[in-house]
Structure 1
Amino acid sequence: MVFRTLTSLMKLAAVLAVTAGLTACGGSGSSDYSYAYLQFYNASPNGSTVYMQDEDGDDLGSAQFGDTTSLISLDSGSTDLEFVRLDSDDEEVSLHEMTVKLKTGYKTLIVLSGDFDDPDWTEFQFKRESLDDHFRLFVTSVREDQSQYDFYMSENGDPFEAAYYLGTMTYGELNELEYWDPDDDSDDFDEDEYTIYITEPGETDVLLESTTLDFDYDTEYVLAVRDLSGALDDSDSMSVDAILNSTSVTNITDVDADAQYRIYNSTDYDVTVTFGGEDGVDDTVLTLSADELSDFSNISYGDYRITVESDDSDITSLNNKLVTLNQGESKAIMIDLAGSKFSANSFVESDLPQSYDKTVSFVNLSDDFDDIDFYLVRNDETIDTADYYKLNMEFEESGTLVLPEDYYEVIAVYEDDNDEQILLDRTELYGFTEDENYIVTLEPSADSTTGYEVNILY
C-alpha cells in the first residue's frame, strides 16, 4: 500500500466515535473554508498545562498532556505565537515563541512532544477538503523515544491476519494513508467500522489492537501514538490519541491492556479484601492494616466482585460489591464505614503528568456529612481568597483538582443549618511537590479534637 508523507498535518478532525467509548464532535460538510484554522496539541508526557497566546498576549486556549485546544478560526497571514505555563505563583513562564504562516482553507496544528525540559515544537499544515460519506486518515508518532511503528487496519473487527498494512507512524511527520478499496467516486476511506493494529517496523507481533472503531464522519482523522503518564506511567506501554476539532481528545487503549488499582483502608480495623469474578482464575486477596494504602496492583481488565471482611464481629462485612476495571485504567478503591458496615467506593485516577501540575483527588469518607468543603490555602491566602477548593462533597463522593506545585494548608469545613462554617480539620502547610497522584480524605478520627481528620495520601 502507498502512503503520502506530509510535513503538514491534519484537517477538520471532527471526531473518532468508537463502539467502545469514543466521543463524536461533528464533522465537516461545508465546501468552503473561508478562514485559516489553528490548533495546539500537547504530547509531552512529563510536562504541564500549556497555554497558547497570540502576539497581543490574548489567550488562544490551553492543553494538558494528551489534549488539544479548540479549533480556532483566524485570518490568513503571519501570526506570532507564544506558549507559556504557570508557576506556583500563577506567573507565566515562557516556553517557546514561533511565527506561523496561516493560510485560508488550511489547518495548522502545533505539536509539543518529547521531554518537557527540551521539547520539540512541530508545525503541520494542510489544506482542508469537503468530503461526502468518506474520511481521510493521518497518523503520526509523538512518543518521547521517537519510535516509529507500522500501522495496519482491518474491516469491521477482522483479525490482524486480515488487516492491511497502510504505512508508518513516524515521529515529526504526518503520514496520510491510502484506502485499499477506493470507490469510483472517491479514493478516500469509506465511512465504516474498522480495527487498527500497531507493530514494530517490519514485525508482525501486535503491540496495540483497538476495539472496533466507528469512523462515521466525513472528515479527517488524525491518530497519534503516544506514551502513558500519571498513574499509568509505563515506558513499555502506549496508547493512541484521536485529535479532534475540540478540546476533547479521544484516547484509544489496547483491547487487551491490563488495568491497575490500589486500595486504601480508612477504618480503624484490619481488613481482608478479596477480588473475584474471573472464571478459572483464583481470587486476589489482600490484607490491609488500619489506615494503610496499598501499592498499585496490575490485573486483567474486567468486572470484579469485591468483599471486605474483618475479625471484629461488631462490623458487618461488605459482600460482592461490583468494581469495574477497564483497559488501561487505574482506580483507587476507598474502604470506609457506613454506620457499622464496611463500604467502598472507587474513582479513576489521573493519567496526567505530575511533574509540574499535581492532580489531587478529594474524597469524603465520613457518613456524618453530605456537604464537606475542602480548601487548599497557600501561606498568603484564607479560605475566602483561596484559588483552589472542592465544595459540597457528599459521603463517598470524589472530585479532582489540578494544582500548581506548591505548599498548601488543607482545610475541611461544613455549613450547619444556620449557614455557619464549622471547622472539621486542617493540616499544616503541606508540599504537593512529588511526582505522585495525591488523594485527600476527610475521615472520622478518635485522635482529633473535632472527631475528624484530613489525610493526604500518595
Structure 2
Amino acid sequence: MKITTELLLALGMVLTVAGCGSDSKDDSQEAVAYVQYYNGSPDSTSTYLSLEDKDYSALNFGQAMQRYSVSTGSNSLKVIGKNAENSEVEFHAQDINLAAGDNHLFILAGDYEQTDFIDIQFTTTALNEKNDNDDKTSYMQVIGAHISKDSDDIGIYIGKKDDGFSGARYLGQIAYKDSTEPEILETGKYVVYLARAGSNEPFFTTAELSLNTKTVYKLVIRPAFGAATAGVKLDVLSGSKEVTSAPDIDEQVQFRVYNGVQQFDVLKAQIKGKSGDDHELQVGKWTISNFTPTRFGDYDVAVSDVASGEMLLNNLLVTYNQSDSKSILLYPDAEQQLRGTVISHNLTPRSYQYEVQLMNLAPGTTGLEVYFVRNDETVETADYKVTKWDFTENLKITLPRDSYTVTVVKRKDNDTLTLLHRQALQLRDNLDFTLVLTPDDTQTWGYRLQAFQ
C-alpha cells in the first residue's frame, strides 16, 4: 500500500456499519480504478472532489462520498471549497495515474487554512480471492488511518468483544497522515481499541461494530470536539456514502439549560441520572447556563420556581449518548404551562461557513419566515432565509461568515409582512449559532430571539 501525503449507541449495543454492493467483488476491475473522498478537515467549508471529467457531491466534515469507478490512466485531480468571500477555491491540484484495479481513498485533513491531502491506495485482489472459497466463510478487509492532527502516534487494535483488549489483533501504530497495512478478517462484530504509543492499555474503546459485508472498511481516527475528552472519534467508511461515527464507550456528555419563560425570574433545574449522577442548577430569565459534563445515560428533569418553590415540570426525560452536547430549553405553552425540549449541538469549529439552527418556542405561531439580511440587501433581496417555521419546529440553515440583520415576519394572505422581531447577528468565534424564539412582552413586537453558541 502506498500513502501520499446520528447513531450513537450505549455500552453493550452494536453499531451497524453500512456496506455497499459496488464495494464487493468487482467483475470489471481489470478495466477501471475506484475512488472515494472523505472530508476530514474539521473547520473546512463543504468541499468536493473534482476529477477531469466529473465533479462529485460536496461534503461537510466527517462525510464521505460513495465509491465510484473511473477510467484508468492519467487524470487531473483537485479539491474545491469556499473562501472568506464565499467563492470557490482549489486545493491540492495534481495529475495522478489511476491503474486498473486500484482503489484510492482521498482524504482532506488538518486545518482548513493549510490542509493536508492523503491518498490511501489499496487493492481488493486478495480479499476477492479469499472470498472465492468453498467453506462459505465470508471475509472483509480493514485499514486504519490517522487524521487527527493534534494527536500523537496511536496504536489501533481490533478484536471480538469477548476476547477483550488482550486478545485483539494489532493493526499497527500510526502517526498523523499514516495508515496501516490491510488486514483480512472474517466478517462479523468487532470492537476497535486505540492506545497511545508505548501504552499497554486502551484510551478509547468502541461499542461493537457490525462489519458484515465483503468489503474494505476504513477505520479513520479523526478529531472530536465538545464533550469528547478523548479528543478523537473513529469514523468507519465502507464503499457507500454512509459514515458510522463511533465514540469511546465511556465518553462523557454535556448539558446546559435555557430559561425562556418571561414570568419566572429564576428557575431551578434538577437533573437526575439513573446511575446516581445528579445535578442541580439555577438559571435566570433569558439566560443559558454553562455546559456541565456528566456521564452518558437517561436523565429525569424537574423544574421549579425558585421564588415560590412551586414545581412546574417533573416529567421530562432526556437521553444523552456518548459525546452528546445538548441544551434543555424551557418555554411556555399556549396555556402558559412550563414545557421543555432538547436540541443537540455540533461544536466542530468553523472557518467561513456556519450552521444556524432556529427553534420556534413561541406558542400560536405558524408559517413564520426568517430573513438573514446583509448590508447590501433587503428582506426582498436577501439570499438566505427560512420559511414555514412553525411552533416547536427546529430548522437549520448554512450561512457564510458575515454580519446579518435577522428579521422574523409573518406573511398575511395579501403578502403584507407583520414584523415579529429584528436584531443584528455577527457570525464569529468559529462556532455554530442557535436562535430561539419565545414570547416576551418587554420586546417591541412581543417576541425575543435569543442567540447563543
* TM-score, scaled to structure 1: 0.86
Shift of 1:440: 0.9
For 2:110, the equivalent position in structure 1 comes to: 114
For 2:235, the equivalent position in structure 1 comes to: 241
What CA deviation, in whole Å up to 9, does each residue of 1:273-329 have, x standing for no partner?
A: 110023344x20010000111111111000001111114669861113100010011
- 3-state SS of 1:292 partner: coil
In structure 2, the CA distance between the partners of 1:348 and 1:25, relative to structure 1 (3 Å rule), is: farther
The residue type equivalent to 2:288 in the other structure is L
For 2:219, the equivalent position in structure 1 comes to: 223
The residue type equivalent to 2:70 in the other structure is L
Shift of 1:417: 6.1
- 3-state SS of 1:111 partner: strand
Shift of 1:406: 1.1
- State the alpha-carbon separation in 1 of the partners of residues 15 and 193 from structure 2: 18
Tell me which of 288, 301, 309 is aligned to 1:306.
Answer: 301
Shift of 1:93: 2.5
Shift of 1:416: 4.4
Tell me which of 30, 38, 42 is aligned to 1:41.
Answer: 38
In structure 2, the CA distance between the partners of 1:164 and 1:89, relative to structure 1 (3 Å rule), is: closer
Can you give the 5+ residue segments of structure 2 that lack an aligned partner in the other structure? 5-11, 132-137
Shift of 1:350: 1.2
For 1:125, the equivalent position in structure 2 comes to: 121
For 1:445, the equivalent position in structure 2 comes to: 440
Shift of 1:152: 1.9
The residue type equivalent to 2:410 in the other structure is Y
For 2:429, the equivalent position in structure 1 comes to: 434
- 3-state SS of 1:117 partner: helix
Moved more, 164-173 or 332-341: 164-173
Tell me which of 162, 176, 182 is aligned to 2:181.
Answer: 176
2:79–2:91: 8 Å Cα contact kept in structure 1?
yes
What CA deviation, in whole Å up to 9, does each residue of 1:32-62 have, x standing for no partner?
A: 1343222222222333322333347x53222
In structure 2, the CA distance between the partners of 1:377 and 1:244, relative to structure 1 (3 Å rule), is: farther
In structure 2, the CA distance between the partners of 1:120 and 1:344, relative to structure 1 (3 Å rule), is: same
In structure 2, the CA distance between the partners of 1:364 and 1:115, relative to structure 1 (3 Å rule), is: same
In structure 2, the CA distance between the partners of 1:417 and 1:303, relative to structure 1 (3 Å rule), is: farther
- 3-state SS of 1:225 partner: strand
Shift of 1:374: 2.3
Tell me which of 52, 67, 81 is aligned to 2:63.
Answer: 67
Shift of 1:219: 0.3
- State the alpha-carbon separation in 1 of the partners of residues 375 and 66 from structure 2: 35
In structure 2, the CA distance between the partners of 1:381 and 1:314, relative to structure 1 (3 Å rule), is: farther
Tell me which of 132, 137, 142 is aligned to 1:137.
Answer: 142
- 3-state SS of 1:161 partner: helix
Matches within 5 A, 1:47-446: 47-55=44-52, 59-129=55-125, 130=128, 132=131, 133-145=138-150, 147-178=152-183, 188-229=184-225, 231-232=226-227, 236-268=230-262, 269=264, 270-281=266-277, 283-311=278-306, 317-338=312-333, 339-416=335-412, 420-428=416-424, 430-446=425-441
The residue type equivalent to 2:320 in the other structure is L
The residue type equivalent to 1:449 in the other structure is T
Matches within 5 A, 1:2-13: 6-8=1-3
- State the alpha-carbon separation in 1 of the partners of residues 390 and 83 from structure 2: 32
- State the alpha-carbon separation in 1 of the partners of residues 394 and 284 from structure 2: 23
1:199–1:208: 8 Å Cα contact kept in structure 2?
yes
1:222–1:243: 8 Å Cα contact kept in structure 2?
yes
In structure 2, the CA distance between the partners of 1:177 and 1:75, relative to structure 1 (3 Å rule), is: closer
2:33–2:71: 8 Å Cα contact kept in structure 1?
yes
2:222–2:234: 8 Å Cα contact kept in structure 1?
yes
In structure 2, the CA distance between the partners of 1:36 and 1:422, relative to structure 1 (3 Å rule), is: farther
1:454 aligns with 2:446: no
- 3-state SS of 2:180 partner: strand
Shift of 1:384: 4.3
Kindly, what percent of the aligned residue pairs are identical?
Answer: 28
In structure 2, the CA distance between the partners of 1:157 and 1:61, relative to structure 1 (3 Å rule), is: farther
- State the alpha-carbon separation in 1 of the partners of residues 17 and 393 from structure 2: 25
- 3-state SS of 2:166 partner: helix
Q: After the TM superposition, list the runs of 4 or more consecutive aligned residues in structure 1 that deviate by more than 6 angstroms.
A: none
The residue type equivalent to 2:97 in the other structure is K
2:108–2:117: 8 Å Cα contact kept in structure 1?
yes
- State the alpha-carbon separation in 2 of the partners of residues 88 and 167 from structure 1: 39
2:80–2:91: 8 Å Cα contact kept in structure 1?
yes
Count matched residues.
Answer: 431
In structure 2, the CA distance between the partners of 1:355 and 1:434, relative to structure 1 (3 Å rule), is: same
- State the alpha-carbon separation in 2 of the partners of residues 290 and 227 from structure 1: 36
- State the alpha-carbon separation in 2 of the partners of residues 89 and 117 from structure 1: 14
RMSD between superposed Cα atoms in Å: 2.5
1:260–1:297: 8 Å Cα contact kept in structure 2?
yes
Moved more, 285-294 or 197-206: 197-206
Shift of 1:411: 1.6
- State the alpha-carbon separation in 2 of the partners of residues 379 and 65 from structure 1: 29
Shift of 1:456: 1.8
2:43–2:351: 8 Å Cα contact kept in structure 1?
yes
Can you give the 5+ residue segments of structure 1 that lack an aligned partner in the other structure? 1-5, 10-17, 179-187
2:19–2:213: 8 Å Cα contact kept in structure 1?
no
What CA deviation, in whole Å up to 9, does each residue of 1:382-429 have, x standing for no partner?
A: 44443333332332222322322111221212344666543211223x
- 3-state SS of 2:282 partner: strand
Shift of 1:74: 1.8
Shift of 1:259: 0.6
Shift of 1:376: 1.7
